[in-house]
Amino acid sequence: MKVMIIGGTGHVGNFMVPKLVEMGAEVIVVGSGRKPVPKDKSWSKVKYVLCNVKNLEEINKLKIEAPDVVVDMPGSVWNIYHNLRTISKHVIACGSIWMYGEPKVIPTPEETQNECLFEVYKKRYSEILSLIEIARKDGVAFTAIMPPNISGSGKIPLDCLGGRSLEIHKAHAQGKEVVLPDGADVLIGPCDAEDIADCFVKAVLNQDKSAYHIFNVGSSYAITAAELVNAYSEIYNVRIPVKRVPWNDYVTNVSPDIGSWWHFKAHMCPDISKANRLLSYQPQYTPEQSIYRAVEWMKSYKMI
């Protein structure tokens, strides 16, 4: 099987590519050149193709690789699908549970909940829903996989202000105060990039079961915002005090960027039962283990 991964040198791709190589797949990684190709043994068997997938003419050049499966990680699946559907048997897109909008229920199923407030995600979600129907008519398998907050080794994890700031993590490590909004805590779902990669691999290997489905992926449970602070207290071996402020004060003065405060507004607790039922997906890392692995990675690179 020949598998092409768009954005394969990214966080999830760094786990996905070796898994596929070990299973005997012929892997082609397509990238922009911004991220270096890892130097470990499994990557020596990977073909790397430099391509700007935002350029339709460049995407056309990928046809000569004739992949059986195309996995799009960065979010260019609309162009990828329409240019490679005559070549590939299966196209898999990476989305986000934020695309469903603010959840009405938790755990949250693979269904629209409310209007998505993020225009890029809103557009990509519309494309995913359309491609499920288009692909069905074309006779091409199409799958979308929706993770919550991605953590694990290889990337700075979510901090307690809703971003991925190294400086804020340094403050956490020093036991500096964290400000959270008043009220009931939201559920936050850090999940490990290795687990997410495993679901993508299972979708690749199980085309019949994954075709025309959207799958949530993530940890087996979520944690509250307060428990996120507690988890970092244990990881950094310090006491991190918490101060509570009214919501309006929080979004105006503490964390005005919606991309940050949304983590403390909308639950991120995906229902992963369909992925378990159809693909035998079983996450091996808890949210706490996932952020611990990320912190250990930061320490190994002397970032903190």
Domain boundaries, the chain: 2-151+190-218+269-284
Give the mean pLDDT of 241-255: 97
Confidence band (pLDDT; 50, 70, 90) for 269?
very high
Question: Contact 203/215 with Cβ under 8 angstroms?
Answer: yes
Which distant-in-sequence residues (6+ apart) come within 8 Å of 1 by Cβ? 24, 25, 26, 68, 69, 204
Question: Contact 283/228 with Cβ under 8 angstroms?
Answer: no
Distance CA 200, CA 128 (A): 16
Superfamily holding 2-151+190-218+269-284: NAD(P)-binding Rossmann-like Domain (3.40.50.720)
What pLDDT shows up at residue 40?
86
Express each pLDDT in 151-203 by its tens digit. 999 999 999 999 999 999 999 999 999 999 999 999 999 999 999 999 999 99
Q: What is the pTM of this model?
A: 0.96
Express each pLDDT in 39-59 by its tens digit. 888 899 999 999 999 888 889
Question: Contact 148/106 with Cβ under 8 angstroms?
Answer: no
pLDDT at 81 over 90: yes
Average pLDDT for the chain: 97
Question: Contact 20/204 with Cβ under 8 angstroms?
Answer: yes
What pLDDT shows up at residue 200?
98
Q: In the numeric block, which tokens belong to residue 249?
A: 């004060």
What pLDDT shows up at residue 267?
97
Q: In what order do the strands lie in the sheet with 69-72?
A: 47-50, 26-31, 2-6, 69-72, 90-94, 141-146, 213-216
Nearest CA to 246 out of 255, 236, 238 is that of 255
What pLDDT shows up at residue 57?
84
pLDDT at 206 over 90: yes
Express each pLDDT in 121-153 by its tens digit. 999 999 999 999 999 999 999 999 999 999 999
CA atoms in the 13 A half-sphere facing the CB of 116: 17
What pLDDT shows up at residue 108?
98
Report the DSSP beta bridge partners of residue 161: none
